[in-house]
Amino acid sequence: MSGKSFKISREELEKVIQICENIERRGLNPFTVNVRDLLMKLRRMLEENKTLDHYILDAETMYRIATLIALQQRWLKERAQALFVDAQMIETRLIAMDKKSIVRAFLKAWRPIISLEQITIQRLRQGADHFLSLAPRAGGRSWGWKVTRRDVELIKGSVKPEEEVAEKLKKLHEELLKEYGLRGEVDYWSFIKGRNLEESFERAYLLSFLITDGYVDVRRNPLKNEIKLIPRERKAERKQPASLVIVMGGEAG
């Protein structure tokens, strides 16, 4: 057996290995390769070159072909799951359709996970208290950010004490009662409107507590797209509580 023929068959085997690797890595159709032909060629080359080097390369090629067969099985399974849909056809449709139609089609198949991830003002205060109560480490740090007295004051100041919130709620309730006394049912949007967006958000946030606590009733008219507020002097017991989502400054796509 000449060295030249070994070199050629080695190149051929390396080419086969590369093709198999490419198919696996790029997710290409594994049926583009004729496995039967490859195996016949491999057998022929093995009979012609009976050296240790060739056996090793042959084993590597055999392993790649076996992986390719496994890929073919997986490909068939996935295509069956995907109803043997032609990818080109899907892409053509996606390009032709408007965004809303695509979203409508997607919603039929989408069931989002529900999970809660929230922190309450009490937990935040607890966390801040715990952090501030930690003893400083011996020697302190010579690098990075350090908590200064000013930071401590800032943290304390940024978490509004409960009394302050309660005072604001009381004021808002009184304001609503006064408004109701003058004009009757109060429009939600005109009531929450503040001097700026930040104040409007704060008024809406505080009002939600008054509503939940039973100090304010909400009447919604979907035909006129109106939300009216009816305040109560005393707290009312909610027999059938319901949730109402009001979007402020949301994006409508």
Partner 1 sequence: MSGEDTFSRRLMTAAAMLLFRSHRKPGVKGWELKYRLGKNYMKVVDALNSYLKRIGLEVKTVFEEGEDLDKARFYVVLAHPLTLSDLVTAGWSIDEVAALAVTLSILMSRGGKAPLRDVLEVLETKFPRWKAEAHVERAIRRGYVEKLDDDMLTIGWRTKVEVEQKELLKSMLELRPEEQAQEREESKSA
Nearest residue (CB) to partner 1, 118 versus 158: 118
CA distances from 140 to 127, 134, 144 (A): 21, 13, 11
Q: Contact residues for partner 1 (CB under 8 A)?
A: 25-27, 75, 78-79, 81-83, 85-87, 89-91, 93-95, 97-117, 245, 247, 250-253
Question: How many whole angstroms separate alpha carbon 70 and alpha carbon 223?
Answer: 60
Least Å from the CB of residue 161 to partner 1: 27
Nearest residue (CB) to partner 1, 117 versus 163: 117
Least Å from the CB of residue 106 to partner 1: 4
- CA count, 13 A, side-chain hemisphere, 231: 24
Least Å from the CB of residue 21 to partner 1: 11
Nearest residue (CB) to partner 1, 237 versus 251: 251
Q: Which tokens hold the place of 141?
A: 């740090």
Nearest residue (CB) to partner 1, 109 versus 135: 109
Burial degree of 207 (CB within 10 A; 0-12, 13-18, 19+): buried
Evaluate whether 7 touches 53 at the Cβ level (below 8 Å).
no
Nearest residue (CB) to partner 1, 37 versus 78: 78
> Under DSSP, is residue 221 helix (H, G, I), strand (E, B) or coil?
strand
Least Å from the CB of residue 207 to partner 1: 19
- The amino acid at 177: L
- The amino acid at 231: P
